[in-house]
Amino acid sequence: MDVEINKKLLPMKAHYFFFNAGLAPLMPFIPTYARQLGVSQVGVGLMYTVFPFVGLLAKPFFGTIADKFKIGKQIFITAIIFTAIFFTSIYYVPAKTSEVIIDFDCSIMTLLKTCEVSDNCTLTRINLENPDMMSTMECTLTCHSLESQFVEEMCETWNVTDVCNKNLTSIEMKTYSNMSKALLEQTCLYFPVESIMLNETKVENPYCKTASSMKCSTVCNSATVMSYLQKPTTETPQEPYYATVQFQMLFGLMIGAWASTAVVVSLGDSICFNLLGSKPHDYGRQRLWGALGWGISAIFAGYLIDSVSHGKNVKDYTPSFILVFIMLTINAISVSRIKIDYRQEPYAFQKVVSLFKDVKVVLFLFSCITFGICIGSIWQFLFWYLEDLASAQGCDSLEWIKLLEGLAMGIQCFAGEAPFLFLSGWFLNKLGHVHTMTMILLVMGFRLVCYSLLTNPWLTLPIELLNGLTLGVYWSTMTSYAYLIAPPGAGSTLQGIFGALFEGIGTAVGSLLGGFIFQNYGGATMYRSFGIYTLVFGILYSCIHAFMDRRNKLTRKGNFLKDDNIKFGLILITFWAGYVRIGDWH
């Protein structure tokens, strides 16, 4: 059997693949990368509160310009280029100098100590980093404000003669501790020091005749230990988080990247429907290449990050930035081959505005916002929720939680979203947009309620199959609906408006409201609340449409009878004759 390839659509498939492959290596890691730069959690939270509203403004604005001046392709390519520029520029944001402090206690034995540990699974995390638990942790300590008593101990007890008779104000030394002897008591983590290297003199089993303690800056070769010690100096009274160069640069670059990405997504869908022409139901078959690009690139990037970061105290995201640049460059080149046929009708914004007088259109917009609320709660909090469930089963769960999260993403992408994007045209042809959206809302409500009932986090894997019937089918439903109702020449405008309401308002509300419920009442309550709300909304959405369709059907029937006087008369005569005949029977 010969398979006919539509060469006109190949650049579009390439766009979806390479654009998503260009976002996946970095976009999911921005919150953790921001923390590594020294941006506080409050700063990251503020950024992700603002970003959806950036997309809310950018999508309809540039969509309108594209339609009005017929320059959609030019804006599209420019937005891809700026996406690459903004994301790769993040690489040059300087990391905030972090103060990593540990207590150096010396008495009958010498200990490294920190008493700000609130994680009961600390020793398990250290064990995961060092499975044999026989490795040695090496720390380089820089201690200031030395006491004369400690200097005497170094000179006499440790026999480090070159520090004698010197007025030292600071000293640098290396300590070596056996990881298997780490102790955790309440909030304090202890590492017995087996040896010290000080001024090329090695001291075995160091101790002090007179107890002394001091705080030292340190760098250790254990990333896990460093994560417990690191305290970014970003929220001092003299320099709040929003005044740091790290926050300002990252925030500014991410606003540009987010706006550019939003414009690419919106205009890309509009151009895709332009190329599809009379076959808008085939949109999902193009969009599924984006899911494949995201999944493959995310796995590859994660492997490269872990590989180049081996032995380092922090993750090295250099491979991510390289992949972003390469993939988006290929993307920009591929879309330059797209040929768009613009309609010649003049652009009329009034026709776009008049659409929102239609109750059905408004209902569809609210369904987009509702779905955005749901998907926002999944994107932001699902893994957090799963880790809470896993922690309730004991610290051993840390050994497999990342595997579970990876499997969940794989099922969402490859077993859920990709195949159902391919099948979305079938759903739309069989059910129509209204019934398909009803199905999406009801399945999403069921999915969220299932999350709320979980006790074993592994049971989330079959639930993730529903990502296809929700996000996979939804994306085709939303974009094709916007295309079908759009006035001539206003496709990009409608795509921008619908996308902005979904991602700008919907996901933002889901993140903000979901975060409040999660923090105060727990993840189960959050998902159950959103699930019940979505089920009720889905039922109401279906019932309202059924009521309007029935009313319109009766109205059309009434108008037909009124206008066709002859047939109306015949019907009355027939009715009268039947009445008389019935009367005769009785």
The CATH number of whichever domain residue 519 belongs to comes to: 1.20.1250.20
Residue 36's nearest CA partner among 116, 94, 83, 118 is: 94
**C-alpha to C-alpha distance for 152 and 363, rounded to whole angstroms:** 79
β-pairing, 183-185 with 212-220?
A: unpaired
Q: Do residues 197 and 260 both lie within one domain?
A: no
Phi, psi of 115 (to 5 degrees): -120, 35
Q: Do residues 90 and 102 both lie within one domain?
A: no
Range of the domain at 117: 98-232
Whole-angstrom CA distances from 459 to 5, 456, 467, 535 are 40, 6, 15, 22
**C-alpha to C-alpha distance for 226 and 207, rounded to whole angstroms:** 24
Residue 347 belongs to a domain: no
Work out how many domains the chain is built from and give that number: 3
Q: Token pair 């298997």 is at which residue?
A: 180
Residue 328's nearest CA partner among 99, 550, 14 is: 14
Q: Do residues 222 and 277 both lie within one domain?
A: no
Q: Do residues 554 and 462 both lie within one domain?
A: yes
**C-alpha to C-alpha distance for 232 and 219, rounded to whole angstroms:** 14
DSSP E strand boundaries for 285-334: none
Q: State the burial class of residue 72 (Cβ atoms within 10 Å of its Cβ: 0-12, 13-18, 19+).
A: buried
Q: Do residues 573 and 468 both lie within one domain?
A: yes
Q: Which of 286, 311, 342 is the last residue of a domain?
A: 342
Instruction: Identify the bridge partners of residue 239 per DSSP, sorted by sequence position.
Output: 236
**C-alpha to C-alpha distance for 553 and 279, rounded to whole angstroms:** 28
Residue 239 belongs to a domain: no
pLDDT reported for residue 178? 87
Q: What is the DSSP string of 479-514?
A: HHHHHHHSPTT-HHHHHHHHHIIIIIIIHHHHHHHH
Whole-angstrom CA distances from 471 to 161, 418, 422 are 70, 10, 12
Residue 237 belongs to a domain: no
Q: Token pair 């020294």 is at which residue?
A: 38
Q: Do residues 419 and 563 both lie within one domain?
A: yes
**C-alpha to C-alpha distance for 173 and 154, rounded to whole angstroms:** 11
Residue 53 belongs to a domain: yes
Number of H-type helices and E-type strands within the chain: 21, 9
pTM of the model as a whole: 0.71
Q: Classify 341 as helix, strand or coil.
A: coil
Q: Do residues 127 and 204 both lie within one domain?
A: yes
Q: Which of 206, 232, 258 is the last residue of a domain?
A: 232
Q: Do residues 150 and 208 both lie within one domain?
A: yes
pLDDT reported for residue 230? 66
pLDDT reported for residue 127? 78
The structure tokens listed for 47 are 């950024």
Contact 305/36 with Cβ under 8 angstroms? no
Q: Do residues 289 and 168 both lie within one domain?
A: no
Contact 385/451 with Cβ under 8 angstroms? yes
Q: What is the DSSP letter of 239?
A: B
Q: Do residues 405 and 501 both lie within one domain?
A: yes
Q: Do residues 88 and 122 both lie within one domain?
A: no
Query: Angle 41-69/245-276 helices, nearest 10 degrees?
Result: 40
Task: Tell me the pLDDT of the chain (586 aa) as tens digits.
Answer: 444 567 788 889 999 999 999 998 888 888 778 877 877 766 777 787 788 888 888 888 888 888 788 888 899 999 999 999 999 999 999 887 666 789 999 999 999 998 878 777 788 878 776 665 567 888 989 888 787 788 888 888 888 877 776 677 788 899 999 888 888 888 889 999 999 998 888 899 998 888 888 888 888 877 778 777 765 444 444 566 677 888 899 999 999 999 999 899 888 888 888 888 778 778 888 888 988 888 888 888 878 887 887 666 567 889 999 999 999 999 999 888 888 776 655 666 677 778 888 888 899 999 999 999 999 888 878 888 888 888 788 777 767 777 787 788 888 888 888 888 888 888 888 888 999 999 999 999 999 999 999 999 999 999 999 998 998 899 889 888 888 888 877 777 788 888 888 877 888 888 888 888 887 888 899 999 999 999 999 999 999 998 888 877 766 555 443 444 444 343 433 443 443 333 333 3
**C-alpha to C-alpha distance for 129 and 306, rounded to whole angstroms:** 13
pLDDT reported for residue 21? 92
Beta-carbon contacts of 50 under 8 Å, excluding residues fewer than 6 positions away, are 251, 255
Residue 348 belongs to a domain: no
Q: Which of 185, 211, 232 is the last residue of a domain?
A: 232
Q: Do residues 82 and 105 both lie within one domain?
A: no
Residue 171's nearest CA partner among 148, 143, 152, 193 is: 143
DSSP E strand boundaries for 44-134: 98-106, 110-114
